[in-house]
Structure 1
Amino acid sequence: MRRILTWLSILTAAAFAQTSFSEDSLNVVANDPGGSFSAAWVDYNGDGNLDLFVANGDDFTSTPLNNFLYRNDGGGDFFPITSGAIAADLTDTRGCSWGDYDNDGDPDLFVAVAFDDNSLYRNDGGDNFTKMTPSEVGSIVSDGGGSLGACWGDYDNDGDLDLFVANDSGFADLPCFLYENDGSGFFTRVLDGTAFPMVNAYGPHRSASWGDYDNDGYIDLFLARFGRNELYHNLGGSGFEKILSGDIVNDQSVSAGGSWGDYDNDGDLDLFVPNGLDLGMSNDFYRNNGDGSFTRLLDNQAYPMLDADNAASSSWIDYDNDGDLDLFIANVLGTFTKGDSGTRFISGENGLYQNNGDGTFTRMTDTGAYPMVAGGDNTFAGIWGDYNNDGALDLFTAVAQGNNRLFRQDGNSNHWLQVKLEGTESNRSAIGARVEVSAAIFDNRVRQIREITSQDGANTQNGLMAGFGLGNAALVDTLIVHWPSGIMQAIYNVATDQVLTIVESANQPPYRQFALPDTSSQVGHYLIYDLIGLETFVDPDGDSLSFSAFSADTNIALAESFPPGYLFVYPVGAGTTEVVVIADDLFGGTAADTFLISVSESSPPVVANAIPDTVLNLDAAADFRRDLGTVFSNPSGDSLLFSAESFNSTVAFAEVSGDTLIVTPAVPYSREHALI
């Protein structure tokens, strides 16, 4: 089902709230050295605390290392899990992805292995995992592949998670893999290269990420590689089209990954691509045009993240909770020679870029407030999550040589909301679901979107939740979830500063059929809409609908609904505001429509043709009549209601019949003329 979104995009310079970070160097997760290439925050045991998984390779010594799993017991008190299937494996692990492939309520783990078969670990509850065999789950764990990355995603929206694996053909002469879940947790490798061209993709692929860039309700695939990157458009679950035109697939790059995110809050996913690996190539940034095409952004002053820094990974987050997405880039050490510029040494300084709120960014360079941007590390991934549950996003960086690092954010006064989804008709992890929120932030109406994803960037997973910064907004006016199943749920007046869990409703909710258009009016000139007659909303189950409405700014307009289905909007002050109309089927299903009303001050009627003084002759016994519609006009174009009164009823009487003024002489008065 196509997502139809109407956006009021307001880009203004935001009022920044000061943030800073402290390095938590004594934490156990920062004191286990390993050749760490990938990491993920995940609440694997369902206790409400983010646990941590770290994928380790060979730390450039050709000696495989154990992967790390840490259980968070609350407040950032991590306990290392040193026994069991995950801890026992010694493989050159490069990528990881968590998702509930068997829909049993807990996330499972897939790891991409460079020189051996990949591994799938089923979550059995608690700290217990089982390493799955080919007889249990299919060739997903026996195909080999030289795998560097993987991502779960329900590409056909059938309610279970499928898997894509990015392979480097230089490690093994194999293409990338796509596996279809049959619903029982058994996977079949997709081999139809005509319908699914990505399964014929050979080459040095580094990672992949799903994202619905065209808002049609089906996740599309970006595949990062050396050379020309690849973009595959989902054709409704039955296949994919390989995109051949546009900058994204024609720029020559050495790309590590891709991060989808709506940095400009216009309702569609933009794409950042980190490039590097010792070749000194600048990064790529593409703005979504809203029509399935992208524009490459080239202004290094406005977008300093384009600078060449030897990038290995990236991730969009709103670390300062101000209502727009910021960007983190993990950079590795290296040297490169380019043209006549000679050899350049790259110190591995990570990049943190604050969104200025006007579509531009500022690079954070204060190593006191932002110690993660100091150089010297081989950082391959940076994952963001609130590990101590204080509402501020913290950062863990995976370092290929030496100890990993943990940075605790000290927070600010801005509000926030974390949304955790649980699918019922959709996959249990809700991967591919989209969450929209609307709130008044720093005097602007701001709408934001997030998608639940299994890869926030190369080697990066930020916890299977949708996080929103909300600035000074203490309330979210509207929260809408678009589930992969096509179900839409809406919640209104949501309190901020909480982790909100939403379970997908099996009830078929109503949906908006015909949008109410933006309109204009004047103070005191009310508007009435017949929501039933206009067929604004439809309920697939045939349930009767009740309606409610509210205005985002009651100083501009009031909104109220009346049975059986009338919307009343009364303008009270000049300005523009949003009106939200809600349809409720009384079984937990809701739908919403929004429109803008621009209100101007009302203009009073004016005299267009004045009535001249008139003499009535009593002997003639005649009254005086005049069409008042020719006397008065209204600049507002509204109908006028007339009344009349005589100031001396002993001379004449005045009345209005319809639009006609009637003046009748008083009888008897005198035999003289009466002047009116």
Structure 2
Amino acid sequence: MYIIDLKTNQVSEISSQYKTAFDYPNIVGFGHPYDFNNDGNMDLVGSGDKLTGKAFIYLGNQTVFYDIQDTLALPHGWWRESGYPFMPEDINDINFDGTLDLVISDVSGYVPNKIYLNQLTRFDSLSLYHYFNIYLMEEFWQLMFVSSTHDFNADGKRDYVVTWRQRSNHFSYQSYYYISDQQKKTYKLVGPDILRNLPDTDPNDYFDYDSDGLIDRIRFAPFSSALRFQKRIRQVKNYNDHPFEDKTRDVYFLNEYDTTCETSQAKFADFNNDGYPDIIKPNLSGTGLDILVAEPFSRNQMWYTNIKETALTVLPSYSSVPALFDLDQDGDLDFSIGYDLFVPKPDRQRIYRNNLDVSNGDANWIQLWLEGTKSPRTPIGAQIILVNTDTTGGFWWRQAREYRNNPVNGYMEHFGLRHRTVVDSIIVLWPSGMRDTLLNVPANQRLVIREGDTYTGINDYSRPETFTLGQNYPNPFNPQTTISYSIGQPGIYELSV
């Protein structure tokens, strides 16, 4: 475990400080960090091996993590048929009380499918059917996953999908939507997922790929190993009312790239800050890396150009899922790719600094963090919508994100703004049902938005432009014309008009 000081570029190793907390031989890995007890410090979820059969919860403070593992003891011997430990976990505020709860489900049947309600110092177990009041005949169907994958009705709170698998045919699934009801504090069954007979669980991803203010779905077709783009067209309201329409035929790829991909590996991020998310993904074969830059051809079509040959100074011979972050805090997303000890040096670890938009001055941005008050302090599922209008007040540009603990960029939500220096409005839909709107927010800054409060700037940053030339305003009553200009840095220049 390391801490990096970006101001001094100093790297400090702090593993020994936390070693005693994690000194359990049966821990096989940790999930994402969450703030379970709303104290402002991140906590950790760990998984035990197949002999231990436990989920380990570590509550953190400023100096140490302490273990409350006994609150989540699971039966002895939960694992997949392959012998590896397996515990799909879903973390969300399921009972609307402002704390993050857990849902644990497992298709193998070794783990009891239960809800664990967060009581800050312990977790109380509850049957899944307390909130999800439907089940298929278990003689013919097997419960596969319970997952809060997405906010289908756009109220700021994640909804749930319960997916069953047919015992006689493992390629036949049935998924049911459970939409949150903020007033009744429960979930309403609205219908099955009938699109292409694929389970509505991972490896799906949800992202506003066409920047229209509605969060779309990116699916993985297991038989063709290709991405499918499904555009969001409506909210889920009625039984069998599917909210997505497949638009894969309107997405085109220029330059050769490896079409085999999984959504758990492909990541959407705006690398050149033009307002449209690009795609970065490793090849499924384990070699190479594709960077697909979005180029909207029209309102209904998206084109992607693979720029890996020109954008990467060193092409990695191995590939893995990149980790995205703004390492140098200059307003664009950098990334790193790391591998295990079996990969030869120097490909074991690489960090790539992003310089795609450094020279044109037309790549503004904003980075947002959310902090809940009535909602959980880490408000999983909140929606962030950025809106800009034209001079007549008509709608013309929107971007939407769903706040989540992303394994590749944490809790930071990055928006490219292109030439826009001000965001007309930032709308946040919180899991508690609250709605906050920020008006006329300057670009090129980092903001913490606190639920029900005003925003706080973390750090302001203005990217230097190559140059700017002001407008000519001729005056017939004045023999002179003044034109303003600015330059990126001191030097000797020649300006011709």
For normalisation by structure 2, the TM-score amounts to 0.64
The Cα of 1:180 is off from its aligned counterpart by 2.0
Q: Are 1:431 and 1:453, in contact at CA under 8 Å, matched by a contact in 2?
A: yes
Partner of residue 356, structure 1: 355
Partner of residue 40, structure 1: 32
**One-letter identity of the residue aligned with 1:263:** F
The runs of 5 or more residues in structure 2 that have no matched partner are 1-5, 79-84, 237-242, 360-365, 389-397, 455-460, 483-497
Partner of residue 628, structure 1: none
Cα pair distance change 1:317/1:189, threshold 3 Å: farther
> Aligned partners of 2:47, 2:313: CA distance in 1, in Å?
30
Partner of residue 471, structure 2: 599
Partner of residue 157, structure 1: 154
> Aligned partners of 2:132, 2:96: CA distance in 1, in Å?
17
> Aligned partners of 2:106, 2:258: CA distance in 1, in Å?
29
* C-alpha distance after superposition, 1:150-182 (max 9, x if no partner): 553212214542135799999954537453234
Where in structure 2 are the equivalents of 1:328-367 lying within 5 Å? 328-329=336-337, 331=339, 349-356=348-355, 358=357
> Aligned partners of 1:95, 1:483: CA distance in 2, in Å?
29
> Aligned partners of 1:145, 1:247: CA distance in 2, in Å?
37
Q: Secondary structure at the match of 1:70?
A: strand
Cα pair distance change 1:468/1:271, threshold 3 Å: closer
Residue in structure 1 matching 2:428, options 483, 506, 522: 483
* C-alpha distance after superposition, 1:478-500 (max 9, x if no partner): 69432358966115679988854
Partner of residue 80, structure 1: 67
Cα pair distance change 1:450/1:132, threshold 3 Å: same
* C-alpha distance after superposition, 1:269-293 (max 9, x if no partner): 33333444xx324344332334451
> Aligned partners of 2:208, 2:327: CA distance in 1, in Å?
23
The Cα of 1:146 is off from its aligned counterpart by 5.6
* C-alpha distance after superposition, 1:53-105 (max 9, x if no partner): 2345x5xxx656423221112x2421122221367786443544432233321
The Cα of 1:145 is off from its aligned counterpart by 5.6
Residue in structure 2 matching 1:107, options 100, 114, 119: 100
Q: Secondary structure at the match of 2:178?
A: strand
* C-alpha distance after superposition, 1:414-436 (max 9, x if no partner): xx9763254989x9936252266
Residue in structure 1 matching 2:309, options 300, 306, 311: 300
Identical aligned residues as a percent: 17
Higher RCO (CA < 8 A, seq sep 6+): 1
> Aligned partners of 1:285, 1:453: CA distance in 2, in Å?
24
Partner of residue 453, structure 1: 403
> Aligned partners of 1:247, 1:69: CA distance in 2, in Å?
44
> Aligned partners of 2:170, 2:29: CA distance in 1, in Å?
19
The Cα of 1:201 is off from its aligned counterpart by 1.3
Partner of residue 231, structure 2: 233
Where in structure 2 are the equivalents of 1:514-553 lying within 5 Å? none
Partner of residue 294, structure 2: 288
**One-letter identity of the residue aligned with 2:149:** W
Q: Are 1:477 and 1:493, in contact at CA under 8 Å, matched by a contact in 2?
A: yes
**One-letter identity of the residue aligned with 1:191:** P
Matched, 1:268 2:280: no
**One-letter identity of the residue aligned with 1:216:** D
> Aligned partners of 1:110, 1:496: CA distance in 2, in Å?
36
> Aligned partners of 2:147, 2:281: CA distance in 1, in Å?
17
* C-alpha distance after superposition, 1:568-598 (max 9, x if no partner): xxxxxx956xxxxxxxxxxxxxxxxxxxxx4
> Aligned partners of 1:330, 1:165: CA distance in 2, in Å?
34
Partner of residue 209, structure 1: 205
Cα pair distance change 1:161/1:253, threshold 3 Å: closer
Q: Are 1:215 and 1:268, in contact at CA under 8 Å, matched by a contact in 2?
A: yes
Q: Are 2:205 and 2:219, in contact at CA under 8 Å, matched by a contact in 1?
A: yes
Where in structure 2 are the equivalents of 1:607-646 lying within 5 Å? none
Matched, 1:126 2:120: yes
> Aligned partners of 1:266, 1:236: CA distance in 2, in Å?
26
Q: Are 1:110 and 1:118, in contact at CA under 8 Å, matched by a contact in 2?
A: no
The Cα of 1:328 is off from its aligned counterpart by 3.8
Partner of residue 51, structure 1: 43
Q: Secondary structure at the match of 1:135?
A: helix
> Aligned partners of 1:304, 1:165: CA distance in 2, in Å?
45
Q: Are 1:262 and 1:449, in contact at CA under 8 Å, matched by a contact in 2?
A: no
* C-alpha distance after superposition, 1:386-421 (max 9, x if no partner): xxxxxxxxxxxxxxxxxxxxxxxxxxxxxx976325
> Aligned partners of 1:478, 1:309: CA distance in 2, in Å?
39
Matched, 1:69 2:67: no
> Aligned partners of 1:256, 1:99: CA distance in 2, in Å?
20
Residue in structure 2 matching 1:419, options 366, 369, 376: 369
The Cα of 1:188 is off from its aligned counterpart by 3.8
Q: Are 1:49 and 1:72, in contact at CA under 8 Å, matched by a contact in 2?
A: yes
Q: Secondary structure at the match of 1:191?
A: strand
Aligned residues: 412
**One-letter identity of the residue aligned with 1:103:** F
Q: Secondary structure at the match of 1:105?
A: coil
Q: Secondary structure at the match of 2:245?
A: strand
> Aligned partners of 1:180, 1:111: CA distance in 2, in Å?
17
Residue in structure 2 matching 1:259, options 251, 267, 275: 267
**One-letter identity of the residue aligned with 1:354:** R
> Aligned partners of 1:177, 1:305: CA distance in 2, in Å?
43
> Aligned partners of 2:327, 2:156: CA distance in 1, in Å?
32
> Aligned partners of 1:119, 1:218: CA distance in 2, in Å?
32
Matched, 1:244 2:242: no
The Cα of 1:305 is off from its aligned counterpart by 9.0
Q: Are 2:27 and 2:46, in contact at CA under 8 Å, matched by a contact in 1?
A: no
> Aligned partners of 2:134, 2:24: CA distance in 1, in Å?
30
Residue in structure 1 matching 2:11, options 17, 21, 30: 21
Q: Are 1:210 and 1:219, in contact at CA under 8 Å, matched by a contact in 2?
A: yes
Partner of residue 181, structure 1: 179
Q: Secondary structure at the match of 1:93?
A: coil
The Cα of 1:50 is off from its aligned counterpart by 1.3
Q: Are 1:55 and 1:67, in contact at CA under 8 Å, matched by a contact in 2?
A: yes
The Cα of 1:136 is off from its aligned counterpart by 0.5
Q: Are 1:260 and 1:316, in contact at CA under 8 Å, matched by a contact in 2?
A: no
* C-alpha distance after superposition, 1:589-642 (max 9, x if no partner): xxxxxxxxx4346556478xxxxxxxxxxxxxxxxxxxxxxxxxx989xxxxxx
> Aligned partners of 1:21, 1:258: CA distance in 2, in Å?
29
> Aligned partners of 2:22, 2:44: CA distance in 1, in Å?
12
Q: Secondary structure at the match of 1:83?
A: helix
Cα pair distance change 1:48/1:96, threshold 3 Å: same
The runs of 5 or more residues in structure 1 that have no matched partner are 1-15, 336-344, 361-415, 439-447, 470-475, 506-551, 554-573, 577-597, 608-633, 637-676
**One-letter identity of the residue aligned with 1:309:** Y
> Aligned partners of 1:41, 1:111: CA distance in 2, in Å?
17
> Aligned partners of 1:354, 1:134: CA distance in 2, in Å?
45
Residue in structure 1 matching 2:451, options 483, 486, 502: 502
> Aligned partners of 1:115, 1:133: CA distance in 2, in Å?
18
The Cα of 1:47 is off from its aligned counterpart by 0.9
